[in-house]
Amino acid sequence: MRKIAVYGKGGIGKSTTTANLSAALSRMGYKVMQIGCDPKSDSTSGLNGGKEIPTVLDAIREMPDRISLEDIVFEGAGGVLCVEAGGPTPGIGCAGRGIITAFEKLEELNAYEVYRPDIVLYDVLGDVVCGGFAMPVRGGYARDVFIVTSGEKMALFAARNIATALSNFKNRGYARLAGLILNSRNVRNEADLVKALADEIGTSVVKVLSRSPMVQQAEDMNGTVVDLFPESSMGEEYMDLARKVLEGSSDV
């Protein structure tokens, strides 16, 4: 089983990229589970016809003692198993702790043993702001981390922070940085800027994704590029990303 986390600055394209990656991996014949670790709970909507599925924290809120896996794991497009951790009531509670609680529930219900996915993808909110959002990279969870970034300053800044957090945790047996995914915003010198960051933090750029109107178009049609436009060049790019991610990660 591979367990892979996708991090990156808010709005950089983590969820879109992860959903397309899931769709591509599933097209290649793998059983994929995508876990959205973001109170917005929109990670997997592209795999569920634009709808947001009930979250783990919703289930815990409504029926704390009677939750079963069917209440929190939903099969989306291409058979991808979709989970959303969810979040607290906006304005109160603790989102980071919420992620931990959701993960503990999945563990308690033996989700990984029951579904036996080949690949688990964690789509994690923005930067590593607190302990909860580092949960997906703790021992026993993701082994490999890919950071989505563009050449924009703030995206590079966030990517560097995430890489620093991972290297701070290296004595703890946490996940390791497996590479950067450049999701192009077409800023000047973008490839060079991102390559320079990769060198600085001792990793590589595993894939450059173009900025494409097709992504928006698929989103408007409530699906992923890979499912809706598999023959398109953007579809091809995501298929290639899937291959690169497989090459750059390893089984747990």
Partner 1 sequence: MYKLTVQLPPFSPDYSGVCSALFELGGLLLIHDASGCTGNYTGYDEPRWYGSDSKVFCTALREIDAVLGNDDKLTEKILEAMEALSPRFVGLMGSPVPTVIGADLQGIATEIESRSGIPAFGFSTTGLQLYDWGISEALLALSRRFVRPDRAKTKGTINLLGATPLDFGTKNFLPHMKGELEARGLEVSACFAMGSSLDDIAESASASVNVVLSAGGYGLARYLFSRFGTPFVVGQPLDGILADDLCLMIDRAERTGESQIPGPASSENGEVLLIGEHVTMHSLARRIVMESGKTVHIGCPFRRIGEISGPGTFDLPSEQSIAESLSRGYGSVFGDPLYRGLMKDGGNYVEIPHVAVSSKLYWNDPSPILGDGLSHLLKGVVLS
Ligand X SMILES: Nc1ncnc2c1ncn2[C@@H]1O[C@H](COP(=O)(O)OP(=O)(O)OP(=O)(O)O)[C@@H](O)[C@H]1O
Q: Which residues are catalytic?
A: 9, 14, 40, 127
Would you tell me which residues interact with partner 1 (CB under 8 A)? 94, 96-97, 100, 130-132, 134-135, 138-139, 169, 171-174
Q: Is 48 in the site for ligand X (CB under 6 A)?
A: no
CA-based torsion, 168, 173, 179, 184: positive or negative: negative
Is 11 or 173 the residue whose CB approaches ligand X more closely? 11
Residue 50 DSSP code: T
Count of alpha carbons within 13 Å of 115, Cβ hemisphere only? 26
Is 21 or 135 the residue whose CB approaches partner 1 more closely? 135
Q: Whole-number minimum distance, CB 140 to partner 1, in Å?
A: 8
10 to 49: interface string for Mg ion, x by CB under 5 A: ----xx----------------------------------
Provide the token pair at 148.
Answer: 């989505």
- Asked if 59 and 28 touch (Cβ cutoff 8 Å), the reply is no
Beta bridge partners of 57: none
Beta bridge partners of 40: none
Q: Whole-number minimum distance, CB 138 to partner 1, in Å?
A: 5
Residue 211 DSSP code: P
Which entry of partner 1, ligand X, Mg ion, none binds 173, CB below 5 to 8 A by partner kind? partner 1
